[in-house]
Structure 1
Amino acid sequence: MNIDTEPRSHAEYTVGWVCALPKEQIAATAMLDQEHNQLPKPPNDSNNYTLGSIGEHNVVIARLPKGQYGTHAATNFAVWMVSTFPNIKVGLMVGIGGGIPPKVRLGDVVVGTPVGKLPGVVQWDLGKANAGGSFE
């Protein structure tokens, strides 16, 4: 991968890619066609960003800080990312899918789609998997 040193602004980034684990961030960074130079951040933004591009899309990649997990930490993290990069239109949470049901295999892409009043995304840590594959 090469590093593109062309000057850029925060407004040029439209894809935000959030990772939970270091190995996910390493894989995400390896997907970049080009890596970009860092940009200054607001003083209160403690996120560490990797900037780059995939094709014509400028991408911001960041990982939750070590020891932070769950919806509260991820929400704060995403709020700072969108505040620092105000033109993010697509948000990705890409990872190893540790809680995904076994019928989903490595390499599958899972997309949540709202149906009726259901949001298309289920928070799996608010329940438990029962024997036989049902979820309570």
Structure 2
Amino acid sequence: MKTRKKRLSHNAHTVALLAPLEVELSAVRYMLDEEHEQLPATKNNLIRYVPGQLSQHNVAIASLPAGYRGTISAAIVARDLARTFPSIELRLLVGIGGGVPSATADVRLGDVVVSVPSGTQGGVVQYDLGKQTTTGFQRKGFLCLPSS
């Protein structure tokens, strides 16, 4: 017997998981305790949403449309997500990332990493901002501090 999915309003969702790539969306979708019925699309919104429940929280998983990538596309997803789900209080970017190994941390692909701002640095290293030198890779920058 097929069970009927719950249908909640856009306002019922308080946590957003942004999974930019299809493979990331698929992985996050398997984490859901329960998947909810799709909500009606809002005007001028191309973003794909998967509503559900994860550990007692109503979540909306957002994914980029096929063929879209990059920081501008991700910013559009975040903007449209805020318009579509006005009660979202917590937004988490989930996905595949690279590690930045150091003498004190053995971070590898597949590890769970949570960034922590420190001093004037935002806690997230944008490793592709830099150049290779004879002494190694020299970073040119980092992402800004989160808003308070």
Report the TM range for the smaller structure's normalisation.
0.7 to 0.9
The percentage of counterpart residues that share the same residue type is 45
Structure 2 stretches lacking a partner, 5+ long: 140-148
Q: Deviations over 1:60-82 (max 9, x none)?
A: 11221222222111101110011
Q: Secondary structure at the match of 1:11?
A: helix
Q: Deviations over 1:105-127 (max 9, x none)?
A: 35422112111221122333333
Q: Quick one: structure 1 residues 37 and 121, their matched pair in 2 at CA, closer, same or farther if it must change by over 3 Å? A: same
Q: Secondary structure at the match of 2:111?
A: coil
Corresponding residue of 1:119? 122
Cα distance in 1 for partners of 2:108, 2:28 equals: 19
Structure 1 stretches lacking a partner, 5+ long: none
Cα distance in 2 for partners of 1:11, 1:3 equals: 24
Corresponding residue of 2:113? 110
Structure of greater relative contact order (alpha carbons < 8 Å, 6+ residues apart): 1
Q: Which has the larger radius of gyration?
A: 2
Corresponding residue of 2:11? 11
Query: Mapping of 1:54-133 within 5 angstroms?
Result: 54-97=54-97, 99-102=98-101, 103-128=106-131
Q: Secondary structure at the match of 2:128?
A: helix
The answer (yes or no) to whether the contact 2:33–2:54 under 8 Å persists in 1 is yes
Q: Secondary structure at the match of 1:122?
A: coil
Q: Secondary structure at the match of 1:50?
A: strand
- Kindly tell me the number of residue pairs found equivalent between the two proteins: 134
Q: TM-score, normalised by structure 2?
A: 0.78
Cα distance in 1 for partners of 2:133, 2:94 equals: 26
Q: TM-score, normalised by structure 1?
A: 0.84
The answer (yes or no) to whether the contact 2:15–2:57 under 8 Å persists in 1 is yes
